[in-house]
């Protein structure tokens, strides 16, 4: 079965530098605000913000990430959505979105999840047998037979063997 792992949650916002709404020091260029006239100009640019770790409860205290159990993704998504809503209150934020990295792995063998294309399923050099169809996983026998069982497709000839 395909399992999806999400990681590296982040908020990406598109910022338009505008006079009086954003200062150089707010962009990390400290010590310049006095010499500047307060105006920033330029093209819109994107910045990526990474949320605080869920286990970080503030004031330097950390707890194990496991306390959020299976809802880690939902918790990170919620935290990012909250950050995004806050960013959007600022006039110089043009747009924004929540992103994460997704990786799909097989629940049986833990390899990266890959499936046959229609061409590969029809090709004797890449399919498992004449019963292979588009979408059939390629990583291991357990995943292939699980896929076939769900679709009432005859299992691999090597499976079980005792029939």
Interface ranges with Zn ion (CB under 5 A) = 106, 108-109, 139-140, 143
Nearer to Zn ion, 75 or 138 (CB): 138
- Rounded to a whole number of angstroms, the minimum distance from the CB of residue 152 to Zn ion is 21
Cβ-proximal residue to Zn ion, closest one: 106
Rounded Cα distance between 23 and 8, Å, is 28
Nearer to Zn ion, 94 or 142 (CB): 142
Burial of 132 from C-beta contacts in 10 A (0-12 / 13-18 / 19+): buried
**Residue 11: its H or E element:** strand 2-15
DSSP class per residue in 80-134: HHHHHHHHHTSTTEEEEEEEEEEEEEETTT-PBP-B--HHHHH-TTTSSSTT--T
- Rounded to a whole number of angstroms, the minimum distance from the CB of residue 26 to Zn ion is 49
Q: In what order do the strands lie in the sheet with 2-15?
A: 45-49, 2-15, 93-106
- Rounded to a whole number of angstroms, the minimum distance from the CB of residue 87 to Zn ion is 40
- Rounded to a whole number of angstroms, the minimum distance from the CB of residue 10 to Zn ion is 29
Nearer to Zn ion, 40 or 139 (CB): 139
Nearer to Zn ion, 10 or 108 (CB): 108
- Rounded to a whole number of angstroms, the minimum distance from the CB of residue 105 to Zn ion is 8
């Amino acid at each position: 079965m395909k399992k999806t792992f999400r990681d590296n949650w982040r908020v990406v916002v598109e910022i338009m530098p505008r006079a009086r709404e954003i200062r150089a020091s707010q962009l990390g260029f400290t010590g310049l605000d006095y010499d500047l006239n307060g105006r920033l100009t330029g093209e819109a640019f994107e910045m990526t913000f990474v949320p605080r770790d869920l286990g970080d409860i503030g004031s330097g205290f950390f707890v194990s990430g496991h306390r959020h159990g299976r809802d880690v993704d939902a918790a990170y998504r919620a935290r990012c959505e909250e950050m995004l809503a806050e960013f959007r209150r600022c006039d110089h934020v043009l747009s924004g979105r929540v992103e994460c990295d997704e990786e799909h792995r097989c629940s049986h063998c833990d390899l990266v999840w890959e499936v046959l294309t229609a061409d590969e399923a029809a090709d004797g050099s890449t399919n498992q047998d004449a019963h292979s169809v588009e979408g059939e996983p390629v990583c291991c026998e357990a995943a292939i037979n699980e896929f076939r069982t769900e679709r009432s497709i005859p299992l691999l000839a090597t499976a079980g063997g005792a029939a």
